[in-house]
Amino acid sequence: MLDCVIRGANIVDGTGAPAFTGDVGIDGGLIREVGTVTTPTRRVIDAQGLTLTPGFIDIHTHYDGQASWDSELAPTSLNGVTTIAMGNCGVGFAPARPDMHEALIALLEGVEDIPGTALSEGLTWDWETFPDYLDALARRSFAMDVSAHLPHAALRCYVMGERGADHRQHPDAAERAELARLTREALRAGAMGFSTSRTFVHRSRTGENIGTLEAGHDELLAIAAALKAEGKGVIQLISDAYLTPDDAFAESELALIRAMAKASGRPLSFTVQQTDEAPDRYRHIFGEVAAMVAEGLDVKAQVAPRPIGVLLGFEATVNPFLLCPSYRALAGKPLGERVAALADQGLRQRLLDEHAALAPREFMALIAQGFGRMFRASSPIDYEPSPDQSIAAEAARLGKDAAAHALDVLMEDGGRRLLYMPLINFARGNLDDVHAMLTAPNTLFGLSDGGAHCGTICDASFPTTTLALWPRGNRHGRTVPLEALVHGLTARNARHMGWHDRGRIAPGLRADLNLIEMERLAVPAPEMVHDLPAGGARLMQRPTGFAMTMLAGVPTFEQGMATGARPGRLIRG
């Protein structure tokens, strides 16, 4: 007798093959039968009109701290994800010398916009080494299966102390040997791989560059050789190759990526996005990746299904008036007090006068004055807004000053209104280039950053956007078949990570599954919730359309609500 049969579903099995109608029989946490199931069962789930997929696999999250106190790991778990990899981009909390705890918190607060107060109160620190950290995770249960990379920044600080946090410092020969030894130790304990960061964007809360920014070839190749010696693990990294208009710099970074792939002999993936400064760099990178693959190297680009966009608001980390002295005087007050104060016409005018006098540079100039790229975060949210929907366009139609109109919009809903500003993957004002990335060879679906950017970005809903947007098509009618999208969210990521027990609907594999009402699948506007330790805030999205998510045959979510079941465990590599 089976534990459960899912009857009459539209099955998209994760392989990329055409969908078909059938049943799936489940017993003991595994898929036992697929097709027409007649074996007696204890429970029947009527799936007529629903689409059945494998559970999604998110290979790019940052729940490293949150996993030590939280079991649900939302919003990732709300979006059909049943397996995650943490410790990406070289940041995490293990290994951790006791005297480096505060430095690691400061780094994660700056790099990933995770409230430092929440980390200080929530982190259990019942570990020091990376094997200790995995053991701590193994003592917990979750709504998803979790795994972790060995993060380079934490490893460097563990070996080099404060010097490890300085990107201008390099390990000596003895320290390189210790970095390699600890990497092998972590892999043997169950690390999924090794991650590092080479982007100037990653800074601590006090503005210092991440210590791994300029790690030398000797250092990185010593670590890569440790993966080769163990014969296991993947490499994940972010480099500034995708954002630079400097051809020589891009080539030097890609040469390092090729060298790491050769030295390790292991699968390697790295971030590829589109910036306004180098809108076609991704095409050049894809060509170089194809050349690496032709050489026999297992290298892939991680890409995203929509723009990476900052959310602006009075509850968010940033808003257009953040640099104004009158707003900064209010910034620490509760939202209700700020909204009440901003309703005063005298204060409002002072604020607008101060804003008009601002002369910010680079990123802050866009945040403060980029009204042509700010859009209302509607529900369901439109991730491909047209220019005539911008705050600047609305203001022009109303005959208002753009800053004054933005202030009025932000005051809506008791000051909870959010504005969406697509920054990455939107250089041409549409998602045509994103379509090219999603359909290119040698790519992985990733970059959701679940658990990070708590007050600025909410991209853990990437899987929902992938399935809700691309089968229907973007503004210019470019589409991707559902079967190909599900394959990218499941089997392809599983194969890259070496998880051969999941990612497809087939007998003998894990019963990690999603039942989806495709017509209802949508992503609402994010909202701010205050449920982190010490009252820390984070953005949350609760999608519609997920009828059920199962992990090892156990329903973890039904109609978007957690069942309370926590069958998820640590996966050791």
CA distance 214 to 258: 17
Q: Specify the pLDDT at position 362.
A: 86
CA dist., res. 285 & res. 299, Å (int): 11
Q: With cut-offs at 50, 70 and 90, classify the pLDDT of residue 406.
A: very high
Do 129 and 210 fall within a single domain? yes
Average pLDDT rounded to a whole number, residues 25-42 = 98
Model confidence at 237, in pLDDT bands (50, 70, 90)? very high
**Residue 229 shares a structural domain with residue 264:** yes
Quick one: CA torsion of 325, 326, 328, 333, rounded to 10 degrees? 160
pLDDT tens string 315-340 = 999 999 999 999 999 998 999 999 99
pLDDT digits (tens, 9 = 90+) for 536-553: 999 999 999 999 999 999
Please state the rounded mean pLDDT for residues 20-27: 98
Cβ distance 275 to 243 under 8 Å? Answer: yes
**Rounded distance between C-alpha atoms, residue 17 and residue 484, angstroms:** 8
Across residues 261-275, what is the average pLDDT? Answer: 98
Last residue of a domain, one of 424, 445, 468: 424
- Among 424, 447, 469, the domain-final residue is 424
Q: How confident is the model at residue 462 (pLDDT cuts 50, 70, 90)?
A: very high
CA distance 321 to 355: 7
pTM of the predicted model as reported, rounded to 2 decimal places: 0.97
> What's the whole-number mean pLDDT along residues 64-93?
97
- The verdict on residue 30 lying in a domain is no
> What is the residue-wise DSSP string for 332-390?
TS-HHHHHHHHTSHHHHHHHHHHHHT----HHHHHHHH-GGG-EE--SS--SS--GGGB
Say yes or no: 66 and 196 in one domain: yes
Same domain, 195 and 72: yes
pLDDT band per the 50, 70, 90 thresholds, residue 363: confident
Given 362, 395, 424, which residue is the final one in a domain?
A: 424
Same domain, 251 and 399: no
- In this structure, the answer to whether residues 365 and 343 fall within a common structural domain is yes
Q: pLDDT for 508-528, tens place per residue?
A: 999 999 999 999 999 999 999
> Which DSSP string do the residues of 205-216 spell out, in sequence order?
TTSPBPTTTT--
> Do 418 and 438 fall into the same domain?
no
Task: Give domain status of residue 83, yes or no.
Answer: yes
Do the domain assignments include residue 296?
A: yes
pLDDT band at 242 (very low <50, low <70, confident <90, very high): very high
- Together in a domain, 439 and 419: no
Render 294-314 in DSSP notation, one character per residue: HTT--EEEEE-SS-EEEEESS
pLDDT (tens digit per residue) in 112-130: 889 889 999 999 999 999 9
Look at residue 282 and tell me whether its pLDDT is greater than 90.
yes
Q: Is residue 88 a part of any domain in this protein?
A: yes
- Give residue 299's pLDDT: 98
Rounded mean pLDDT, 399-404: 98
- Mean pLDDT, the chain, rounded, equals 97
> Is 489 part of a structural domain of the chain?
yes
- Please check the confidence at residue 500 and state whether its pLDDT lies above 90: yes
For residue 113, the model assigns a pLDDT of 87
Q: Does residue 268 sit within a domain?
A: yes
Asked whether residue 420 falls in the same domain as residue 437, the answer is no
Q: What is the total residue count of the chain?
A: 573
Residue 32 lies in a domain: no
The range of the structural domain enclosing residue 297 comes to 57-307+433-513
Average pLDDT over residues 447-460: 95
> Do 179 and 268 sit in the same domain of this protein?
yes
**Which two three-digit tokens encode residue 384?**
């491909």
111 pLDDT band, cuts 50/70/90, is confident
Residues 348 and 144: their CA atoms lie apart, in Å, by 46
Segment holding 546, helix H or strand E: strand 546-551
How many domains in the chain? 2
Tokens encoding 250: 């891009």
Q: pLDDT value at position 298?
A: 98
Q: Assess whether 227 and 145 both reside in one domain.
A: yes
Check which CATH number belongs to the domain holding 260 and give it.
3.20.20.140
Q: Which two tokens stand for residue 567?
A: 């069958």
What share of the chain has pLDDT > 90, as a percent? 96
CA distance 560 to 546: 6
The answer to whether the beta carbons of residues 446 and 322 sit under 8 Å apart is no
385 in the same domain as 278: no
Q: Contact 339/483 with Cβ under 8 angstroms?
A: no
Examine residue 547 and state whether it is found in any structural domain, yes or no.
no
